[in-house]
Amino acid sequence: MTTEPYTPPPAIPPYIADVPGLLRWETTSREDAVVHAQQLTKESFTYDEVYGRFCTVEEYIDAPPRAVFDYLSDIRNLNEYTYSTRDFRPVEGRPGLHVGRDTLVDDRTPIYMQFHTDPAALTVDMHCAWDQGDELWMIYLYRIIDAQLVLGRPGSVVLWTNCRHPYYDKNPHPELATSPDRPWVGDFWNLFYAGHWVELQNLKKILEFHHGGGTPRESGTA
């Protein structure tokens, strides 16, 4: 392969000359950079260091990316792979908005939910909240990747991230709680990694049972 005529850029682009604190090859030697990286690479990380601000879980699933997308995009399937969210139904007069229940706390706490999906990007974003459907601030961000590209084998990689919205730490509408002593969803943040990992394993087991080997079978969800 040959390349087109080319003038290299200056070593320090003017655009970033004024930005303090950058770590770049031109100003930090390879040896110093490796030492710096080794200092950041600890033997072990605390829960808060890894999952304090963002909670990401990742998994390989032996099912075609499109099948994973279709399954995640159907709100009825929350009944199957989540531990405790159940029975979502449309809210009249609010297109796209659904309401179900979260059995993690009680049967009277409504959870409002709206899906935003992008079939070209294979993203499925689940916007939800307890108690009210006007501000859906709990957002489950899913992205599906073709595993052939990133792992060299058929199937899918599922990336799932939650970001720690301030409402996790402080319920913005305590007056809507079913009782004053009901736990708040943010009380469970320190269990999000475990809970989401378990649900991602549920998802993997269900999809691999029905689509294992990368070959789509007739779906029973329709």
Question: Which pair of structure tokens corresponds to residue 214?
Answer: 């990368």
Of the residues 62, 99, 154, 177, which one makes contact with a second copy according to CB under 8 A: 99
SS3 107: coil
If the CB atoms of residues 74 and 177 are measured against a second copy, the closer one turns out to be: 74
Nearest to 89 by CA among 119, 123, 133: 133
Q: Which residue has the tokens 């916007």?
A: 127
Is 169 a binder of a second copy (CB under 8 A)? Answer: no
Is 209 a binder of a second copy (CB under 8 A)? Answer: yes
Question: Which pair of structure tokens corresponds to residue 76?
Answer: 């009825």
Question: Which residues in 178-197 contact a second copy (CB under 8 A)?
Answer: 190-191, 193-195, 197
Of the residues 173, 205, 215, 216, which one makes contact with a second copy according to CB under 8 A: 205
Is 108 a binder of a second copy (CB under 8 A)? Answer: no
Is 35 a binder of a second copy (CB under 8 A)? Answer: no
Of the residues 65, 68, 114, 133, which one makes contact with a second copy according to CB under 8 A: 133
Q: Write the CA distances from 177 to 171, 173, 185, integer angstroms.
A: 9, 8, 11
Is 215 a binder of a second copy (CB under 8 A)? Answer: no
If the CB atoms of residues 81 and 115 are measured against a second copy, the closer one turns out to be: 81
Residue 163 DSSP symbol: E
Task: State the Cα–Cα distance between residues 192 and 198, nearest whole angstrom.
Answer: 10
**Stretch near a second copy under the rule CB under 8 A, chosen from 62-70, 119-127, 173-181:** 119-127
**Stretch near a second copy under the rule CB under 8 A, chosen from 37-45, 61-69, 173-181:** 37-45
Is 62 a binder of a second copy (CB under 8 A)? Answer: no
Is 89 a binder of a second copy (CB under 8 A)? Answer: yes
Is 2 a binder of a second copy (CB under 8 A)? Answer: yes
Is 36 a binder of a second copy (CB under 8 A)? Answer: yes
**Stretch near a second copy under the rule CB under 8 A, chosen from 61-69, 165-173, 174-182:** 165-173
Question: Which pair of structure tokens corresponds to residue 199?
Answer: 């649900």
Helix H or strand E segment including 52: none
Residues 76 and 92: beta-carbon distance below 8 Å: no
Helix H or strand E segment including 34: helix 30-40
Indicate if the alpha-carbon torsion angle 119, 123, 199, 179 is positive or negative: negative
